[in-house]
Amino acid sequence: MLTQDRAVQDEPAVRRKCLIGLTVNGEPQEVAFFPEKTLLEVLREDLGLTGTKHGCELGECGACAVLLDGQPVLSCLVLGLECQGREVLTVEGLANGPELHPLQAALADLGGTQCGYCTPGILCVALALLRDNPAPTRAEIAEALSGNLCRCTGYHQILDAVQEAARRMAGGQP
Partner 1 sequence: MMRLPRLRYVAPRTIREAAAALADAGPEGALLAGGTDLLPNMKRRQQVPRILIGLRGVQGLRVRELGEAARLGAGLTLSEMLRDAALCAAYPGLRRAVASISTPPLRNMGTLGGNLCLDTRCNYYNQSLEWRKAIDFCLKKDGTICWVAPASPRCWAVSSSDMAPLMVALGARVTLQSAQGERELAAEALYVDDGIAYLSRRPDEVLTDVVLPPHAGLRCTYLKLRRRGAFDFPVLSVAAALRLDGDHGDAPVREARLVLGAVGSHPVLAAEAGALLVGRPLSEEAIREAAEAAARLAKPLDNTDYALGWRKRMAGPLIAAALRELRGDGPPPHGELARAGVRGRPSGAC
Partner 2 sequence: MPLVGTPVPRLEAPDKVTGAACYVDDFALPGMIYGVTVRSPGPRGRIRRIRLGDGIPWEEITVVTARDIPGDNVVALINDDQPCLAAEVYNHAEEAVVLLAHRDRALLERARRQVHLDVEPLPPVLTIDDALAAREVIWGTDNIIKSYLVEQGDVEAALREADLVVQGEYETGAQEHLYIEPNGMVAVATPEDGVTVWGSLQCPYYVQKALMRLFRLPPERTRVVQLETGGGFGGKEDYPSMIAAHAALLSWKAGGVPVKIVYDRTEDMLATTKRHPSRTRHRTGLRRDGTLVALDIDFVIDGGAYSTLSQVVLSRGTIHAAGPYRCDNVRIRGRAVATNTPPRGAFRGFGAPQSLFALERHLDVVARAAGLPPEELRRRNFIRRGERLAVGQQVRDGVDLPALLERALQVSGWTERKNRFRQENQRGTIRRGLGLSCFLHGTGFTGSGESHLASTVALEGTAEGRVRVLTSSTEIGQGTNTIFSQIAADALGVGGEIIEVPRPDTAAVPDSGPTVASRTCTIVGKLIETAALSLRQQLLEEGLLPLPYTTGDFQAACAAYVRQRGALRATARYQPPPGIHWDEVRFRGDAYGAYSWAVYVAQVRVDLCTYQAQVEEFWTVQEVGRVVNPTLAAGQIEGGVAQAIGWALYEHVAWQEGRMANCRMTDYIIPTTMDIPPIHVWFEEAPYPYGAFGAKGLGELPMDGPAPAILNAIHDALGVSICRVPATPEVIYDALSREEALV
Residues that bind partner 2 (CB under 8 A): 3-4, 6-9, 44, 49-58, 60-61, 63, 90-92, 94-95, 100, 104-105, 107-111, 113-120, 123, 141-143, 145-159
Q: Where are the beta strands (DSSP E) in the chain?
A: 18-24, 27-33, 65-68, 71-74, 87-89
38 touches partner 1 by CB under 8 A? yes
Give how far Cα 87 sits from Cα of 41, 102, 147, Å: 16, 22, 22
Residues in the interface with partner 1 (CB under 8 A) total: 42
Q: Is residue 160 a contact residue for partner 1 (CB under 8 A)?
A: yes
Give min distance, CB of 81 to partner 1, in A.
6
Strands 27-33 and 18-24 come out as antiparallel
Residue closer to partner 1, measured from CB, 6 or 99: 6
Q: Give the one entry of partner 2, partner 1, none that residue 21 binds, where binding means its C-beta sits below a cut-off of 5 to 8 angstroms depending on kind.
A: none
Q: Return the one option of partner 1, partner 2, none that residue 71 interacts with (CB less than 5 to 8 A, by type).
A: partner 1
8 or 13: whose CB is closer to partner 2? Answer: 8
Between 58 and 115, name the residue whose CB sits nearer to partner 1: 58
Distance in angstroms (rounded) separating the CA atoms of residues 68 and 24: 9
85 vs 115, which CB is nearer to partner 2? 115
Strands 27-33 and 87-89: unpaired
Cα distances (angstroms) measured from residue 2 to each of 15, 16, 108, 124, 150: 10, 13, 50, 41, 43
State the Cα–Cα distance between residues 40 and 44, nearest whole angstrom. Answer: 6
| Closest CA relative to residue 134, chosen from 144, 121, 120 | 144
How far from the centroid of its chain's Cα atoms is residue 5's Cα? 33
Residue 87 touching partner 1 (CB under 8 A): no
Chain residues in the site for partner 1 (CB under 8 A): 10-12, 14-15, 18, 34-38, 40-41, 54, 57-60, 62, 65, 71-74, 77-79, 81-82, 125, 138-139, 142-144, 146-148, 155-156, 159-160
